[in-house]
Chains A and B, each alone.
Chain A
Amino acid sequence: MRRILLLSTLLAAPVLAQSGQGNVSITIYNNDLALVQDTRQLDVPVRRSKQEFPDVSGMIRPETVTLTGDGIGIVEQNFDYDLLSPQALMQKAVGEMITLVRTNPATGQEMRERATVLAVNGGVVLRIGERIEVLRDDGLPVRVIFDKVPENLRARPTLSVTMESARSGTRPVTLSYLTPGIGWKADYVTMFDERAGKIDVQGWITLSNNTGTTYANADTLLVAGQVRQDQGYDPRRSYRPPPPPPSSIRNPGTETAGRERLGDFYLYPLAERTTIANQQTKQVSFLDVVGAPGRKAYEYRNGWLDAAEEARSADTVLKFSTSREQGLGDALPAGIVRVYMRDARGNAQFIGESAIGHTPMGSELGLKTGEAFDVKVKPVVEKRERIDYEEWKTTERFRIKRSDGAAMTGESDSLRTTTFWRTSMRYTLTNARPESVTVDLTQAGLDNYWGDTRIISESLKSERRSADQAVWRVTVPANGTTVVTAVFDTRY
């Protein structure tokens, strides 16, 4: 009876495998995470039944699955990942009967016989009638035919739910779960017109699906923001370091963008349903701004005691704002900004890219697009010497009460030797461009060890941006050179 049933299902199997998904809504977060909601029409019989859900994400986190439907109670959920393979099939057949079809190598004639599988350890040991044999020990062709697929062996990891229903009939059932393997970021195309001081920016949402499953005709919503995830070990997810802090934001903004929001997150719904295919990278436009102000600046940051044998290029930095009045007028989700300029023939050429973090509206941005060929800085440690000097220091004050009741107070001084290191730096800034440029020259690392660092003298007034950094705004004439010198006293 079972044999006939199997055959009938075999013949009824559609020639085209149709996706088992229903009405799919998918919410995609930045950090490799998506919430899939899949409403399927399910024919549920009355009382207890086991339902399988094919075509869920291949990377589904089964512990996050919830199933809701009218009049349905869940008995248990199973995620079966014992996969159907020749080896598994043979191992589950131990003690069972199989059919052998032997082919005569000379005549091609087939001979069938039934056998019992005794063991599958290294090789397959069979009992055929009263004989014991090892399968294909003589190397002759033998086909093995199994009667059935054992329970729990599946072609793909499969979610199955045992449910109880008060009534029978078809009804919508919503399956929702979290899955890694699908995420999104933003990609920005920026056309920079240096002469006009303008930028045109197009923003694209780039989503990529690596889950092994195609989501057909999905209602898609993208959420800008990192949701915190449980850091439990998941062998199916490779380690990915957290994204670096957004250093490109020079001054965080305080304006609210006119986008849909949910709590701290900005939401980017796709205008129409889309099919997110497996192994697909998909891009949808979300921002198009023309003629926002943008300008170029040069920056160079020198580490403590860094010196160069050859001059090093200053960074080229593109500065613009995301404010409503003076800039792009939108919040920018994290991604990569690619900057293009037109060459002498008017063709767009790539001049560099820079990553940004989630950027609120109204922020001032400074993106390093590259290093300037013609603007260079050569830092040199001119002199570094130890300076010892002695100083008198009050080290303690004391009060003593004597046994006769009289009190005595006093101070104790000591001579102490202090050692300083005096470092003379010289920075040579050169400019081979036909116009003068201004370079923000930063000496960093002034906060090293106890931080007792002082600038004794300098050829140009610096701005102490922090305990760690002093900044000189240096103007370098066209095709010229400017030298900045400074002397630092440090503890070490």
Chain B
Amino acid sequence: MRRALLPLLMLLPSGAAGQVVTTSSGPDAVSVTIYRDPNRDGSQKMQLSWLNGYALISETRRVDIPAGDGDIRFEGVAGGILPESAIVTGLPDGVIEKNQDAYLLSPASLLDRSIGRRVHLRRTSRATGEVREHEAVIRSGAAGAVILQTEQGLEALRCTGIPETIVYDKIPEGLSAKPTLSVRTRSVAAATATITLSYLATGFDWQANYVGNLSPSGDRLDLFAWVTLASGDETSFVDASAQTVAGRPNREDGGRRIMPQASPLSLQCWPAGKTSDIPLVQTHDGAGPPPPAPPPMASPMMAEEIVVTGMSRSAMKVTQEGLGDLKLYRVPEPVTVASNSQKQVAMIDREKVKVESVYRAEIHGGAEERLVQIRMILRTRNRTSEGLGLPLPTGGVAIFVEGRARPILLGEGAIEDKAVGEDVEIELGDASGVLAHVVKTEERKQGSSFLLTASNDQDRPVRFEADFGKDIVAAGKALGRRNGRPLWAVTIPANGRVALRYRTDPTRDR
């Protein structure tokens, strides 16, 4: 009786009756706005194979809306799409529902969805090359455990030593090559509409990259900056309007998300031990086939293609505008954000920015006698009077100095987001010619005494700063303060040294 019902049921398609499927193959115009990885600071480089920022992608598409119930499928969206963030506007009668199907066509899903269906079993004779096809019904296929029912009985697939495979008649419904976003519509009449599809997608990132040329005198910096944006997505966005956003938009853990499943098929057989197998180590019972190989990497290797747009010193520069409490940088011309690629567009080009070079030592309690590591710091203030006065987004800094008719790399540092008016300090690395030497001269319960000597081997004076712990009191000299801690700022004369006696005060908290 139940079987008799089946043909009747098959007349009624599951889902809505008379649903027309239309496909939008790609966008007519697209805008890509890239946001930084919120957990990557300026000193960490972008890993092109592991981009953890994201992008807002807005696509303009022309779609044909069928009369009655329709299903519009959007192809060519970013592979890293977050389906719950998708917004579709411009459909005259709105959207009944949005769907994203992540059940992908793969050898394993093809088998899994064909359980209970009739397929063909194709066997090729190794001796004669003769090909024979048999009708079969797949009785089981979970995790590669394939049991086929033929007219002769039940057989396993490829446990026999005979070349054999399953041939399918058609692709089961609901399996697609890529995760596909679709909307269900209902319209009184057929129409063509221009719609906007926007969504967030993972697998993008960007940062600023600063290149500075320091004058030989060490007090003027020509500062140039790139916007470096990267896409690790499989989809290329051609002639896109490209933007990047600086600042830190809040992100939430989106909870469990359905990940596309496209598993390879690894067939299981019964135990195949032979008399010649000598078990040296008993690994597991049944000595079945080896475990399936791990699935191959889903994404192909990142092509190391670097596109530099804009000639030296900025034929094209991004423009900056406010976006609420964030900063938006817009590439003025349409560009192609290609899959697995990095692109750079000029952002900042300022000459003769006033800077100050400082050698800084951080001095806390410690051993009897020691050398303290000193770091070179380039310091300025983000103001018009210093030659800056514009938002500086997070990024790496490379500082070169002119010398012997060729630039020499002085060091690499990083800056975090700096608003107008803020102090900017770029740490460039450890100094070798300016040294700080600390000797403990007296130890007492009420506080120990120390002597600090800083020396300079250069033939010009340098600025030196000793940044002390909170429990330090200087003997004889009044110290300045920074960030709540005593600071000794002094100029070391050319090829000279300076000294300071100080002691610790145990009544003060470190």
- Residues of chain A touching chain B, judged by Cβ–Cβ distance below 8 Å, are 6-7, 10, 12-19, 32, 41-43, 83-91, 99, 103-108, 120-124, 134-137, 139-149, 153-156, 170, 183, 185, 187, 189, 192, 194, 202, 204, 206, 208-210, 214, 216-217, 240, 272, 274-275, 277-285, 296, 307-311, 313, 316, 336, 338, 341, 343-344, 347-355, 368-376, 380-386, 421, 426, 430, 432, 479, 481
Contact = CB atoms under 8 A, between A and B. Distances in A.
B445 interface: no
Contacts of B128: 107-108
Contact of B101 (A86, A103, A277, A421): A277
A135 B6 CA distance: 42
13 contacts: A10-B149, A121-B273, A142-B160, A183-B256, A192-B324, A280-B103, A282-B97, A283-B84, A313-B417, A336-B252, A344-B321, A348-B58, A373-B247
Interface stretch (B7-15, B298-306, B370-378): B7-15
Interface string B144-185: 011101111111100111100000010000100000000000
Contacts of A386: 507-509
Contact of A17 (B94, B117, B152): B117
Contacts of A41: 2, 5
Contacts of B150: 145
B162 A338 contact: no
- The B interface is mostly helix, strand or loop, or mixed, namely loop
A7 B260 CA distance: 38
Nearest to B274: A137
A312 B11 CA distance: 65
A310 to B, nearest CB: 7
A345 B254 CA distance: 30
B98 interface: yes
Nearest to A335: B84
Contacts of B253: 355
B39 interface: no
Contacts of A19: 14
B421 A341 contact: no
B357 interface: no
Nearest to A181: B256
Contact of B273 (A12, A89, A123, A307): A123
B288 interface: yes
Q: Which of A7, A85, A145, A383 has the most CB of B within 10 A?
A: A85
Nearest to A208: B258
B115 interface: yes
Interface stretch (B135-143, B333-341, B403-411, B446-454): B135-143
Contacts of B116: 13, 17, 155
Contacts of B117: 13, 15-17
Given A142-B160, A285-B95, 9 more contacts: A17-B115, A122-B271, A146-B154, A185-B255, A277-B101, A370-B247, A370-B324, A373-B391, A430-B419
A156 B159 CA distance: 21
Nearest to B164: A143
Contacts of A107: 127-128
A7 B150 CA distance: 9
A89 B31 contact: no
Interface of B: 1-3, 5-6, 9-10, 14-15, 31, 33, 35, 56, 58, 83-87, 94-103, 114-118, 125-128, 130, 137, 139-143, 145-147, 149-156, 159-162, 169, 174, 198, 200, 243, 245-258, 260-261, 268-277, 279, 286-288, 321, 323-328, 330, 391, 416-417, 419-422, 470, 481, 483-484, 507-509
Given A86-B146, A121-B286, A281-B258, A421 B85 contact: no
Q: Which of A83, A141, A373, A374 has the most CB of B within 10 A?
A: A373
Given A155-B116, A349-B323, A86 B249 contact: no
Contacts of B83: 206, 281, 283
Contacts of B481: 382
A443 B323 CA distance: 29
A206 B470 CA distance: 53
A143 B421 CA distance: 81
A-B complex: 3 closest residue pairs judged by Cβ atoms: A123-B273, A85-B145, A352-B249
B162 A103 contact: yes
A149 B137 CA distance: 13
Contact of A432 (B1, B84, B421): B421
B329 to A, nearest CB: 11
A343 B255 contact: no
A24 to B, nearest CB: 11
Q: Which of A18, A183, A192 has the most CB of B within 10 A?
A: A18
Given A16-B10, A280-B258, A281-B84, A144 B484 contact: no
Contact of A146 (B155, B277, B327): B155
Contacts of A147: 153-154
Q: Which of B56, B94, B115, B250 has the most CB of A within 10 A?
A: B250
A122 B279 contact: yes
B265 to A, nearest CB: 14
Nearest to B247: A373
Contacts of B248: 313, 370-371
A382 B118 CA distance: 80
Nearest to A100: B160
A144 B155 contact: yes
